[in-house]
Chain A
């Protein structure tokens, strides 16, 4: 909740190969540990993953592909892609700005700011959706002013607009931005802190402008960390369920993202279609894990051996 404990910076530098004999556990202990660990992972991670694909293909490959002929599925996929396409870049820009001011400067209240950035991870997804209902919902702060009506404070043009935030796409995007808020920032802050300011100072001394320094010195240095943050942010943005389900209103074919559409199909006992859509998200998760491992591998390669 206070954030996935996964990060490039926290990756162990070495593996336990070549452990001296005196501090090795007896063979039977090693066998028991291996069995317990791998058995537990098989039951809790591999089996659910396998079940998604097995259930999706239960009635054959034809039924599987037939599930994607539904126009509502198409619109769910489009909405999910659109949401991620807005939320991820927004949080990317924020993450870079936040990491820049936190890692490169000293100022009062810095640790408080870092804590506040992590806050969305500590909030239940349902509450993340609820708070936007409190602002933009009909009973909310701004809700009454958003619909078409006669509000004395605003001009005629504004009063004619019927702006929908919750139970519409903007609310879904906002809730997604909230739940994915810390991903890029928390990846970049420790990375930029360890890199220090020396290279930027050198560039500035040699006559580079601030933006040149940023694009040509800082960005190449943090690119793997950036990429790492972005893929984690993207996975969560496309898969978010709780927060989005509160603000979406679940209007079929209009405000259902892929996870919400899975719920609808599943509750309609359309198991094959539900698992077919779920299999796309499971594939996304697998791709995310592969890219993540690749970046960690690259990161370890680029680091001097300890």
Chain B
């Protein structure tokens, strides 16, 4: 404490800035967030379970989790390649492409939602030819890969159905992976790869046994960030999901549905489940970031 006091006497404004920070944080974030937990604490356990474990909600958890996971995996793969290309290769327009990666952060989610609808609907630019391919592909998979249950996907459209949720969440999650990997890739010392090459490793061995393990912590962090964002995402998904009960309703949408029925307690109970999930994910992400920071000694 004495070190605090001595520093405070040199540089003024500690009390003012900390006081303002805490007051603003409390009023805007902490008190409103605690309202959700306090509201739910008035419910009995049975009421809470009834509110958060109805079949419609269970279906939405599975959907939100499953598709966020799928989208995050696809983003980890393509995001990894995009980051590699942006850091390692020089090509005309690289700066433009690099700037464009942040588009999902900058483009309002509602705009992204209707744009994806326009593209992937059956009369859209892409949906026009991709939708029949999709339907055929699922049909083929359902006969040739019978050990996976394709029932939820059979006869689905790209837009206004489950695949649309995947498209929206992939769009939203991409920058998280790329922007987490980029600085790590840029800091990767070429000597490491040169040493591997000198010791007789071929390029494939160097890529998989030297570079990939180096990138793994950052890749997992980016994956977790994209996944966490996907679970909470609302704006882009509602336009393209079709929102059929028990089939293509995401969890955030059910909060809205409850609110529209003036069921504040039900809505808050779902919110608490989501908040606890995302705080656990946040904790995991922080641990991952600490691990990767120690790993890279950044």
Contact = CB atoms under 8 A, between A and B. Distances in A.
B148 interface: no
Contact of A281 (B82, B94, B111): B111
B112 to A, nearest CB: 6
Q: Is the contact region of chain A dominated by helix, strand, or loop, or is it mixed?
A: helix
B62 interface: no
Contact of B13 (A19, A123, A214, A284): A214
Contact of A275 (B108, B118, B259): B118
A229 interface: no
Interface string A7-39: 000111111110110110110011001101110
A122 B28 contact: no
Interface of A: 1-2, 4-6, 10-17, 19-20, 22-23, 25-26, 29-30, 33-34, 36-38, 40-41, 43-49, 51-52, 54-55, 93-94, 97-98, 100-102, 104-107, 113, 115-120, 122-127, 130-135, 137, 139-141, 174, 177-178, 181, 197, 200-201, 204, 210, 214, 232, 235, 238-242, 245-246, 258-260, 262-263, 266, 271, 274-275, 278, 281-282, 284-286, 288-290, 292-293
B255 A126 contact: yes
Contacts, number: 334
A106 B7 contact: yes
A214 B101 CA distance: 35
A13 B275 contact: no
B28 A48 contact: no
Contact of A12 (B118, B126, B187, B235): B187
Question: Which residue, of B24, B36, B222, has the highest number of chain A Cβ atoms within 10 A?
Answer: B24
A232 B252 contact: no
26 contacts: A10-B179, A23-B206, A25-B203, A26-B203, A33-B89, A43-B126, A48-B107, A48-B115, A97-B20, A97-B24, A102-B21, A104-B14, A122-B228, A127-B274, A130-B36, A130-B259, A132-B32, A134-B264, A135-B35, A201-B10, A241-B108, A241-B235, A246-B259, A259-B108, A285-B111, A292-B102
A232 B105 contact: yes
A289 B32 contact: no
Q: Is the contact region of chain B dominated by helix, strand, or loop, or is it mixed?
A: helix
A122 B81 CA distance: 26
Contact of B102 (A6, A10, A93): A6
A278 B183 contact: no
Interface in B247-291: 252-253, 255-256, 259, 262, 264, 267-268, 271, 274-275, 278-279, 281-282, 285-286
B60 interface: no
A97 B17 contact: yes
A259 to B, nearest CB: 4
A181 B170 CA distance: 25
Contact of B119 (A14, A51, A281, A288): A51
A120 B278 CA distance: 11
Contact of A127 (B12, B228, B271): B271
A132 B264 CA distance: 12
B283 to A, nearest CB: 9
Nearest to A4: B105
A107 B86 CA distance: 40
Interface residues of B, number: 112
Interface in B83-102: 84-91, 94-95, 97-102
Given A5-B180, A259-B110, A123 B278 contact: yes
Contacts of B115: 48-49, 51-52, 55, 278
Contact of B278 (A10, A29, A107, A124): A124
A241 B168 CA distance: 15
A81 B3 CA distance: 45
Contacts of A115: 282, 286
Q: Which 10 A-B pairs have the closest CB atoms?
A: A239-B108, A124-B232, A12-B186, A210-B12, A241-B235, A1-B228, A23-B193, A242-B234, A5-B179, A285-B106
A4 B183 contact: no
A2 B99 contact: no
B128 interface: no
Nearest to B184: A12
A47 B126 contact: yes
B174 A44 contact: yes
B264 A94 contact: no
Given A41-B82, A130-B268, A122 B13 contact: no
Question: Which residue, of B110, B171, B194, has the highest number of chain A Cβ atoms within 10 A?
Answer: B110
A263 B194 contact: no
Contact of A117 (B8, B20, B25, B89): B25
B111 A262 contact: yes
Given A38-B85, A119-B33, 11 more contacts: A36-B78, A106-B4, A118-B282, A125-B235, A132-B32, A177-B28, A238-B108, A239-B111, A262-B110, A289-B100, A293-B95
